[in-house]
Amino acid sequence: MFVRGLKRKCFDGEEDIEGTLAGIKAIPSYNLQRQSLLDMSLVKLQLCHMLVEPNLCRSVLIANTVRQIQEEMTQDGTWQMINTQSTGQASLDRLVSTDILCRSSREQAEGKHIPGYSTFNKDFEGDQAQGSSETMSTASSVQAPRNLQSNVWEMENPQENKGNFQKSLDQIFETLENKSPNSVEDLFSEVDNSYYDLDTMLTGMMSNTKTVHCDGLETFSSPTTATSNSNCKSDLNELDHIVEILVES
Amino acid sequence: FLGAGGGNDIQWCFSQVKGAVDDDVAEADIISTVEFNHSGELLATGDKGGRVVIFQQEQENKTQSHSRGEYNVYSTFQSHEPEFDYLKSLEIEEKINKIRWLPQKNAAQFLLSTNDKTIKLWKISERDKRPEGYNLKEEDGRYRDPTTVTTLRVPVFRPMDLMVEASPRRIFANAHTYHINSISINSDYETYLSADDLRINLWHLEITDRSFNIVDIKPANMEELTEVITAAEFHPNSCNTFVYSSSKGTIRLCDMRASALCDRHSKLFEEPEDPSNRSFFSEIISSISDVKFSHSGRYMMTRDYLSVKIWDLNMENRPVETYQVHEYLRSKLCSLYENDCIFDKFECCWNGSDRQVIFHRTVTFFLPPLCSIVMTGSYNNFFRMFDRNTKRDITLEASRENNKPRTVLKPRKVCASGKRKKDEISVDSLDFNKKILHTAWHPKENIIAVATTNNLYIFQDKMN
């Protein structure tokens, strides 16, 4: 899926932690980028509009993006590398949201077999009994991230810090289920502030238009100019032809 | 001996701007659709507040040959109101998603306007006379005492100030579970289609309590949903043919004669993906936001996030032409995904021009106008035009700074990378809140209507 031959940062050993710290500021690795994208997508899916029906097209596109990432991560087995990373104490300086979601999913996965990615799509399931329209209810979408990551990170490694991360995540989900207009504020009030950093980091990452930043996630296209073979003139030729046939000269 | 205009590049000049001047945009004033009627005399806009505003072009002043008539407000009415769906505890937005005009058959004008769930047929009629001189009523409407009536007279019509009335003639409701994104009137002028995310329905303009479902892509198991309908349109000449586009960048052409439910397409238009451009955002940017047939029906145009593509209906495997609208955004897709701009739905439109007229000896042929220019919007209040013949393109800006009528608009240029030249604007300076999603081209003249967030700009070509 990513361009062949592309250099990716390896995650190994201690070199990693400092390297990653610097890496975040300068050249985020493909895996980190991908992880950030996954996190961002899941947040987007969770933050559905409370009062107005969410945009189905947007939801489907985001869900497909998440699915793509998940498939790739499963194929690569890169989730393993991410798990190894988390042994570092300097975790707060890294993508904390990754930790939140990673660790909670491991706990979720304990003793639970999630039938598969298909449950993610419960987002779109509506009230079958009433036969009325399906909406993207936030309650069911809440299930999705847990299930999703359980799939991705099914094989677990022992982790140290369950701590308040799981609590934070649960609070996020509970707040969403309440469907109150204030839930968006509640969502962020309990969460570590470095959640905000995710966004600024991503914007910061992408606003520098250096090629090297976006190697992994986005490859630069060679400009494709319009290669048209036909133009309106063919219309005219046809007309001439028709005229000739119709009116014998 | 071709009578159509062509060849010379059009020089666009500012003509008018409608809407509030403040930077503080009231949400209800956000323009959500723009559409000229079939003659071009009327220009309708719909907004987020559910209102429709119709502008009318002034009759051309014969003495002032260097300017075309201005557009002034003709009618304003509240088309849709916000509703609350009690079953789902959700609001139904009153925002007007689309307006489509019916061709004029009598003195009145008719248009279809739709929000997410309900389509309405509006009649707009003029009243410039009123009857006076009733026998039984006073002029103010009160009934006269019958005993005072001693003579008989016939009421006569007397002129009055022009009054334009809009009245809803049909309400087509309860047929869409999902959000309506398109309406399209058939060339038979009797039926029309409405499309939501998963279904397309066929209506008769006279019948409101029934519609026929002609496309249904809802999977039996909603868990399997991966693709939605994004736009649909009837063919301009074949009343049995329509197309619909999807979020995966495909267009399906369907023939209603084939079966009652057009589950299987007659044609599938899809361009194979360019592997060198593949990214996690590939699917999102391939999602088609608009589809428009050319006047002849031979071609159709689609708009996806970064480009406009022209398709020949006879060739399904790739477009015949592709125009890059803002390729410099390709490196910004992650940010645009984060701030949701990547989901913006830009529309596109063809130029409208006089019909082609071909004279050959004693025979005159009238043909549909040549579609040679395409127009679409971008960010920073920029909009773009591509000339299919000359292969030239131009970027213009809708801004109050270019306020002088008959002054030719200055072309804009975005500097993608490297050293920024004077008068160029760098990608990072673009204002992504200023987006032009809706544009319309007068069906007969070189007049265009361009909607920024809450203002409507009208530009016309410089006449000599």
pLDDT at B407: 85
| Residues of B whose CB is below 8 A from A135 | 88, 90
Say which CATH architecture domain B12-131+159-356+365-461 belongs to: 7 Propeller (2.130)
For residue B128, give the 3-state DSSP assignment.
strand
The two three-digit tokens of residue B130, written as one number? 């009123």
Residue B409 CA to residue B401 CA, distance in Å, equals 10
Shortest Cα–Cα distance, B336 to chain A (Å): 9
Size of interface A-B (CB pairs under 8 A): 176
Long-range residue pairs from A62-68, CB within 8 A, at least 24 positions apart, any chain: A63/A120, A63/A121, A63/A123, A63/B226, A64/B226, A64/B283, A65/A37, A65/A41, A65/B280, A65/B281, A65/B283, A65/B284, A66/A38, A66/A41, A66/A42, A66/A120, A66/A148, A67/A117, A67/A120, A68/A1, A68/B280, A68/B283
Shortest Cα–Cα distance, B96 to chain A (Å): 15
Residue type, B41: E
pLDDT at A70: 92
Residue B288 CA to residue B243 CA, distance in Å, equals 12
pLDDT at B118: 97
Residue B320, pLDDT > 90, answer yes
Residue B90, pLDDT > 60, answer yes
pLDDT at A246: 66
More confidently predicted of A216 and B114: B114
More confidently predicted of A71 and A111: A71
Residue B101 CA to residue B111 CA, distance in Å, equals 4
Nearest to A57 among B230, B298, B371 (CB): B230
When pLDDT is averaged across residues B245-264 and rounded to a whole number, the result is 92
Do the chains contact at B335 and A206, CB–CB below 8 Å?
Answer: yes
pLDDT class of A160 with cuts at 50, 70, 90: very low
The pLDDT tens digits for B10-68 are 899 999 999 988 878 899 999 999 999 999 999 999 999 999 999 999 987 655 555 67
What's the full length of chain A, in residues? 249
Chain B residue with CA closest to A245: the answer is B360
Residue A247, pLDDT > 50, answer yes
Domain boundaries, chain A: 24-79
**Cβ neighbours for A29, distance < 8 A, ≥ 6 positions apart:** A8, A9, A11, A20, A23, A216
Nearest to A64 among B92, B226, B335 (CB): B226
The pLDDT tens digits for A113-134 are 333 333 333 434 433 333 333 3
More confidently predicted of B149 and B181: B181
pLDDT at B159: 93
The pLDDT tens digits for A132-159 are 333 333 333 434 444 443 333 223 333 3
**Cβ neighbours for B17, distance < 8 A, ≥ 6 positions apart:** B400, B403, B455, B456, B457, B458
Could you report the predicted ipTM of this complex, rounded to two decimals?
Answer: 0.90
When pLDDT is averaged across residues B311-334 and rounded to a whole number, the result is 96
pLDDT at B362: 84
* Backbone φ and ψ of B187, nearest 5°: -70, -10
More confidently predicted of B417 and B187: B187
Shortest Cα–Cα distance, A191 to chain B (Å): 19
State the best of A41, A51, A64 to mutate against chain B, taking most chain B CBs within 10 Å: A64
pLDDT at B117: 96
pLDDT at A162: 40
pLDDT at A248: 59
Element (H, E) at B251: strand B251-255
